[in-house]
Each structure stands twice: as C-alpha cells, then as structure tokens.
Structure 1
Amino acid sequence: MAHNGDVPLAPLVAPGPPLDAEEAERWSRHLLLPDLGEVGQRRLRAARVCVVGAGGLGAPVLQYLAAAGVGTLGVVDDDVVDSSNLQRQVVHGEADVGRPKVASAADAVRRLSSRTRVVEHPVRLDASTAGLLDGYDLVVDGTDTFGSRYAVADACARRGLPEVWGSVLRTDAQVSVFWGRPPAGSGVVPVQLRDLFPVPPAPGEVPSCAEAGVLGALCGVVGSLMALQAVQLLTGTGEPLLGRVAVLDAARLRWREVPLVGRLSGAVPEDAPSPSGAREDDVPVVAAAALVAELAAVPAGTRAPVVVDVREHGERALVRLPASVHVPLAALLAQGDGRVPGVEDDAPLVVHCAAGVRSARAVAHLLAAGRRGTVRSLAGGVQAWVRAGGEVVRGTGPAPTTDAASPTGTAPTIAPTTDDAPRRRTA
C-alpha cells in the first residue's frame, strides 16, 4: 500500500474563514457529515484544484468540485468543443460547439457556483507550460493523450503535488491517486503513473476512443469518483486510492481493486539501473525476428522456450505475447534459487519486458542464481517484437490464466486511454 493505514492522511488544505449564513445553508448537507462538517467545508472553500482536461472526465470533476464548494478551480485545455464531444462531455452544450473548452467549462462552473473562482488556462500542459501548476494544492488529470498524461504526472512528481488520475475506454475504467513526492512523515509511500505504466505505449499500440468508442455515462461514473478522491484528499477524510487502482468493468458492473507498489516498495521502472550493471549486451539475447521464426517452427524433439513477461500488470493488460507466463520483475528477483514460478526448473526461457532493460536484469539474476537451461533476453522487448511482426494480444480484457505471480491467476484490466479522441479543431 502507498499509505500506512495506521497513520491518518493529513488534509491538504488548512481551513478558510468561517462560513457565512448563505454558505452554511448551501453546504448544509456537508455540514451534517461527521467526518467533513463545518471545518471540512472551510477547507474546500480554501482549496485550489487544477483540472487538466475539460472533456469526458474533466466535465463531472469540475461540476462536482464546484458544487462541493472548492474555492478555486483551474481548467487546462487547448481544444475546442466538437459535436462528437457532447455524448459524454456534459459540461458543454450544443451552443458551445466551436468554442474553446476552457471558456465553455468556465461558464458552466460559474453558473453552478458564483463563489468559485475559475482560472482559465487555454494551453496544452507540457514541460513548457507545467509551471501553471504552481500554486495549486491538487491536480486532477482528465487528459486524453499519453503525452499529456505523462507530462501531468511528471510535473506533479517534480512539484510534490498529489494527482487524481482516471482513464476510460469502451466500457472499462480505472481510477487511482498518485503522489510522487509526498511530505516527509506523511505516511505516504511515493507512487506515480510511471509505477503503473513505466513507459508510454508505442504509437498505434493502443486504440483511441475515436477508434474503439467509449460509453458516455461511464465518464460520469469515473469523473464523479475522481471528484470524490479530490474531496477526500483536500479534507483528510476517508481512505483515498493511494497505492490502489480501482478497476471497473461497466459491461458486467464489477469493481475490482489492484494494488500498486511504488518504486520505493520494490517496483522497478524501465530506466532503473541494475545493481549488477547488466545490460542487453551483458547477457544472452535473442533478436525479435529470430524469436518469431523460432517459435513458428520448433524442430521435432526440441522444447519451445517458455516466454516470461516481467512487466507490471498494467503494461501486460495493454499488450502481451500469446501464451506468455507473467512474473513481474520484483517477484522474480525475490526468488533466490533461479526458479520461475509456474515454469519447470530446466525449461528454456526467453524473458521480455517493454524495451529490454528489465528482462536483461532478470536474465542476469537467473544466471547468477544458477538457473539450469537456456535463458535469453528478448532484445528490444515488446516494442521490437511488434516491429518484427510478432503476434500479440491487445486490448483491455484480462489476460489468460498464465500469471504465475498473481493470486487470482489473471492480470488486472487496466484501460489504456482517457475518454477523448485525438484532438480535433474547428475552424
């Protein structure tokens, strides 16, 4: 877990001034809640939240945070409203088509809560604009591209800002809370987007919502949960999704929870240096094209190598090699005898990750531990496999029951994108 449950999570915001009579009436239902009450409402009135993305997820987040009484809401988006957005982006209406999303969303928030200050940021958040996050207490990421999502996550991690994150595609969704640099003594173990997805997928590897579709009402469900996470973090109430990913299969209306371990708790990022100094050229490797041909025609009387996937659960849910065995790197490194859970001790192995760094480390570990049989690293990882024309299983459904390190036997469903299609502009 990313938070020690024995230590209450401190509120992000100090209480603001006492509520006047009109405010007490407006938020009277909040004041009745023992955990929130008048002090919690004053924290919300003093809070400054930046919502990045005014689309399907940002829409309900903005509406519910404004309704909850958040004092300052920043809105970041460089897009304009398109008619295809209206199926899910309920903060906009037909009359807003062609308008900047930040302007349309800001008008809707002001109509809902005249006491909320709205700051419009009509830009795309990237390294050059990340400074706009300075001065906010919390960031909510409802962006629609991988570049934007990693830019938001990295900017929050550098600034020590907590981040509420959500994602939807088709009828699948997930929500979590990241905090890359929490305050010392907070009881929060650092965890961030790169612990869930160490590297962005290759272009074309994951379909957009324009290609795969998205259920509009699902955006409301997920956005509302993201707003709830924001309220809990701001006021220090409840148990936010730090170190946990809430996963929803809306088609079957089933929620699941997937633990997410931060780097300081054993997860290994793609660029982490190996203690042994192992690189791809330090261990036996096999080229992707050679492995494709090898698996397609196994000579009689020989054993096909077992393919072992050492990536994290979320990465595997995006794309995986058929019939591969899943053992996350941290779990494999915990085996000190060279064994791979679920695999015969002398079976030939090919270990893969996203780009070949973690698999090289895994192979070095197995060889040092005295692993019997052939052990090789897939040079270039999944990225090279795809370029070589290797068969893959894509999408957001659970993997087959070949996950030797998972207590349930399957990888969690982690939907890869947020709700919006690639950006479109209206003249």
Structure 2
Amino acid sequence: MKLTEDQINRYSRHILLKEVGGKGQKKLLEGKVLIIGAGGLGSPIALYLAAAGVGTIGIADADDVDVTNLQRQVIHFTPDVGKPKVISAKEKMQAINPDVEVRTYQEWVSAANIADMIADYDFVIDGTDNFAAKFLINDACVLGGKPYSHGGILQFDGQTMTVAPGQSPCYRCIFPEPPPKDAIPSCSQAGVIGVLPGVLGTIQATEAIKYLLGQGDLLTGRLLTYSALRMRFREIPFRKNPKCPICGEHPTITTLKDELDAMTVCDLGH
C-alpha cells in the first residue's frame, strides 16, 4: 500500500521516527488489534490506537454506558449514557481517525465465542473487569497462539504484562487460578481513582504498537506494577512455570471453559 498525501500529513510525527518511518506506518495501517472491554482501560487504548492509525480495531463489550462510568471511561461522554459502549467508542474512534475500520462486538466474551473472535487479529488487549474474562482471554490466546496484553486496576494500583505464546510466560504462570470468591472487593465496593486506567491503558496501547512495528522490548516475562499514591513503578521478573496448567510441561487445560465462580473486580489480577 502507498500512503496518501493526507496520511503522510496525519502521521508525519510517526514518520519522522526512525523506528517507524513510512514502512512502519504502513505496518500499523495493515495491523489488526482486538480490544476486549470498552471501559476504563479500553477507553485510552481505543483512542490511542485509532489516533496512531492501526487499520483495523475490534472492540468487544456487552455493556451500555452508565453515568458512573464517566469518571474514568474517557471515551464515553454524558450524552452517551444508555448507549452501547461499543457504539459510543466507535463514534469517537472514527471521529479521531476516519482511516480506521472499527469492528464492534456487543457481547460478552465466553468460551463459546472467544476463539472465533480473536482469530482474525494480530494482537489482543485485555481491558476487562472480571477474573473469569482475564483467565479466559489468557487461555484462548495461549491455545490460539495470539500475543496479548493483560492489564488490571483497582483503587490506586495497577498492573500489566504482555504474553507471547510459545515464547514467554503466560498469565497462569504467575496466577494459576482465580482467587477465592469474595477475596478481593469489587470496583463498586473499593473504588478506583479515575486517572489510573489512563496510565495503564496507554502502556497497553504502546505494547500493541510496538508489536505491530516489530520494535523495542515487549513487557514479556515481567509484571509491571504501578502505585498512583506512591507514584512508583515496580518491575517483577518471572519465568515460565513448568507446572503451568496451560503452557507448562504437562498442561491440564487443553480446551476453553468459563470460570463460573470468578467475581467482578475493577480490572485487577489478584
């Protein structure tokens, strides 16, 4: 593909970067990223990927916009209350960049649909708000060989990591199974500072862009944690767990299933 004059102008600040250039921008325009969750994390991810010129962006979420979302889910505006989140998000993404094709999935991810949902994408981003979805996304991406970014937030703290199946540890290497029911309070019980998903979400978007460009070091084998109160990042290295139930030496998870007892939180792994 050849960049148009309008595209050269739009992406000029990318093209000036030697790590991107015209060839890199074409890679972004040809790239396909799926965002699961159009809430706190999904909002900045969707806005920045659209602005960057990622050519095809899928966004999956079954929820409608609620007034309580607006404190942190910056892709949704007050007039959007009651509107499906995927429709609200698509409108803002295409307003930023009409180059982008936005595919919407107004449904919950489940063991029945996730494999088909991720199949056509180069990279997957987990912006969900419950443990069931987080473990399901990990399992589907590992079994499907799809790289993905995990992210989680609660109160003033967040965490993120990237998984490259067959090359890096996965989410279950460090968190083998969901925590016991009621072990961690939900977002509605514990709260979350509104700016927190902006910090973590932009990191996740950066990982997707780096992957599509083939540049830099991905956040694989490293869990990055962030404390907004202490304004401190911490990197925790970890290795593949030979006893991991899905990517270990003797995997016990070979098919997808829904974690029925996993509770809703506010995007944070335990």
Provide TM-score, normalisation by structure 1.
0.57
CA RMSD in angstroms, aligned pairs only: 1.8
The aligned residue for residue 95 of structure 2 is 111
For the 8 Å contact 1:47–1:234, the answer to whether it is kept is yes
What is the rounded CA distance, in whole Å, between the counterparts of 1:148 and 1:272 in structure 2? 18
The aligned residue for residue 82 of structure 1 is 66
The aligned residue for residue 176 of structure 2 is 198
2:209 is equivalent to residue 231 of structure 1: yes
Shift of 1:38: 1.1
What is the rounded CA distance, in whole Å, between the counterparts of 1:24 and 1:260 in structure 2? 41
Deviations 1:278-317 (A, max 9, x none): xxxxxxxxxxxxxxxxxxxxxxxxxxxxxxxxxxxxxxxx
Deviations 1:116-158 (A, max 9, x none): 0000100111111111111111100000011111111111111
Aligned partner of residue 267 in structure 2, secondary structure: coil
2:55 is equivalent to residue 71 of structure 1: yes
The aligned residue for residue 318 of structure 1 is none
Shift of 1:106: 0.8
The aligned residue for residue 330 of structure 1 is none
Deviations 1:30-49 (A, max 9, x none): 01111111111110000010
Aligned partner of residue 125 in structure 2, secondary structure: strand
For the 8 Å contact 2:210–2:216, the answer to whether it is kept is yes
Aligned partner of residue 79 in structure 1, secondary structure: coil
What is the rounded CA distance, in whole Å, between the counterparts of 2:139 and 2:246 in structure 1? 15
Flag the structure with more relative contact order, 1 or 2, with Cα contacts below 8 A and sequence separation at least 6: 2
What is the rounded CA distance, in whole Å, between the counterparts of 2:247 and 2:31 in structure 1? 36
2:141 is equivalent to residue 156 of structure 1: yes
Q: How does 1:340-351 map to 2 (within 5 A)?
A: none
For the 8 Å contact 2:86–2:106, the answer to whether it is kept is yes
Structure 2's unaligned 5+ residue stretches are: 251-264
2:195 is equivalent to residue 217 of structure 1: yes
Amino acid at match of 2:201: G
The aligned residue for residue 175 of structure 1 is 160
Shift of 1:191: 1.8
The aligned residue for residue 49 of structure 1 is 33
Amino acid at match of 1:241: L
What is the rounded CA distance, in whole Å, between the counterparts of 1:417 and 1:262 in structure 2? 26
Distance 1:271 1:152, change over 3 A: closer
Amino acid at match of 1:269: C
Shift of 1:272: 9.8
Distance 1:24 1:150, change over 3 A: same
What is the rounded CA distance, in whole Å, between the counterparts of 2:28 and 2:43 in structure 1? 19
The aligned residue for residue 261 of structure 2 is none
Q: Which has the larger radius of gyration?
A: 1
Aligned to 1:244, which of 218, 222, 228? Answer: 222
Shift of 1:179: 2.0
Structure 1's unaligned 5+ residue stretches are: 1-16, 182-188, 276-415, 420-427
Distance 1:71 1:81, change over 3 A: same
The aligned residue for residue 37 of structure 1 is 21
Aligned partner of residue 216 in structure 1, secondary structure: coil
Aligned residues: percent identity? Answer: 38
What is the rounded CA distance, in whole Å, between the counterparts of 1:156 and 1:98 in structure 2? 31
The aligned residue for residue 284 of structure 1 is none
For the 8 Å contact 1:146–1:417, the answer to whether it is kept is no
2:7 is equivalent to residue 23 of structure 1: yes
The aligned residue for residue 254 of structure 2 is none
Amino acid at match of 1:40: G
Deviations 1:346-404 (A, max 9, x none): xxxxxxxxxxxxxxxxxxxxxxxxxxxxxxxxxxxxxxxxxxxxxxxxxxxxxxxxxxx
What is the rounded CA distance, in whole Å, between the counterparts of 2:136 and 2:23 in structure 1? 34
2:110 is equivalent to residue 135 of structure 1: no
Provide TM-score, normalisation by structure 2.
0.90
